Amino acid sequence: MAGRLGIMLETSARLLRLLSLLQAHRAWSGADLADRLGVTARTVRRDVDRLRELGYPVNASPGTGGGYQLGAGAELPPLLLDDDEAVAVAVGLRTAAGQGIEGIGETSVRALSKLEQVLPSRLRRRVGALNAFTVPMLRGPQPSAVNPGVLTELADLCRDAERLRFEYSDRPQSRTNSTGGTPIGAASRRTVEPHRLVCSERRWYLVAWDLDRDDWRTFRVDRITPKPPHGPRFAPRTPPAEDLAAYVSRGVSTRAYASHAVVRLLVPKERAAERISPSAGVLEAEGPDSCVLRTGASSLDVMVIHVMMTGFDFEVLEPAELTEAIRTAHDRLARSLARSSARAAEPAPRTPDGAGRTPGTRSGSAAGS
């Protein structure tokens, strides 16, 4: 009996390990699974059959390039996480409220509660301590928060390569005019071939091929209102850049503005990145003690303030007009500082304090009388 029980426990543990491996990758060859589990390929086939009997949809494809893959089932199979993975998921759920998705905070709390219920006691204690002794300092409600339903709909269309039809507002749709209810700004109807979603700290963007403009465009997701039906399917195009994050960063920080500038910051790129977000400019490493900032602004006067607010010493590389705008601002500040210093150096006015006398005297006559 003891021997039989030991075999059953060993088999159960191996099935859980097999299920964990199938969840970790899209496909495994039988030889790779046998090597990972330390068993024969025949044992792997038997274990796969046992998982199917338990209701797990494991697909198998024959041939040299074939293998095993966990398919989508009617019910969500148990999610097997090791200790570090479980804590990582808990941390991610804990901080998800600050990621610019509408209502994600409440949803994350519900998911975290469910996760804690199925964790073993040792992990429940670790996650509980993390929650009890962590005070989140997250952003408040954002006018640019994205509807999670829209986000998943766009992701599905990117995955399935289906055309997207939507209404696009030139202002965030959560902002309304004084009469209430109506979004500020004009809206246009667009038809695009969606490619990828790009997220920054506060916003989500859709990179797509605009069929009407015959070019790549970047759209803020919080300004998108899908207008089904979508489709038909399309053949994916070559993306506009290998690094889509850098592509979107250039678009929202530089190309979107009337004035552009290239500035050398006299600090390493890593230090500059602590203050300058990807939505404010694109940083390029130049050497151990400097980097190049490419950025944009609505005007050269605003650009002067933008560059000064980085808090770093800098050199203007282009345009020359920015150097002149900085010189003009410097002269104006110098004149203002001179006037303020001159005013501060003037003696305090003698304020009358009664008829004919000043503060500090007993009568209107001289202090010695």
Q: When comparing pLDDT for 259 and 17, which is higher?
A: 259
Give me 112's structure tokens.
Answer: 């975290």
Determine the Cα–Cα distance for residues 337 and 99; give it in Å rounded to an integer.
43
pLDDT > 90? residue 329: yes
Taking the domains of the chain in order of start, what are their residue ranges?
2-70, 83-132, 148-240, 252-324
- How does pLDDT run across 235-252, given as a tens digit for each residue? 999 999 999 998 999 888
The CATH number of the structural domain formed by 252-324 is: 3.30.70.250
Q: What distances in angstroms separate CA 126 from CA 6, 108, 112, 121, 164, one per listed residue? A: 31, 18, 13, 9, 44
pLDDT band at 64 (very low <50, low <70, confident <90, very high): low
Determine the Cα–Cα distance for residues 52 and 262; give it in Å rounded to an integer.
60
Topology of 2-70 in CATH?
A: Arc Repressor Mutant, subunit A (1.10.10)
Of 63-77, 83-97, 294-308, 314-328, least confident by mean pLDDT is 63-77
Average pLDDT over residues 310-319: 94
pLDDT score, position 325:
94
- Predicted TM-score (pTM) of this structure: 0.59
Backbone angles phi, psi at 252, to 5 degrees: -80, -20
Closest by alpha carbon to 99, among 201, 197, 174, 172?
Answer: 201
Longest dimension (CA), the chain: 121
Determine the Cα–Cα distance for residues 290 and 284; give it in Å rounded to an integer.
9
- How does pLDDT run across 36-49, given as a tens digit for each residue? 888 998 999 999 99
String of DSSP letters for 191-237? EEEEEEEEE-SS-EEEEEEETTTTEEEEEEGGGEEE-S----B-PPP
pLDDT band at 344 (very low <50, low <70, confident <90, very high): confident
Beta bridge partners of 69: 59
Report the alpha-carbon angle 318-321-326, nearest 5.
Answer: 95
Of 5-19, 78-92, 155-169, 290-304, least confident by mean pLDDT is 5-19
pLDDT > 60? residue 112: yes
Percent of residues, the chain, with pLDDT higher than 90: 37
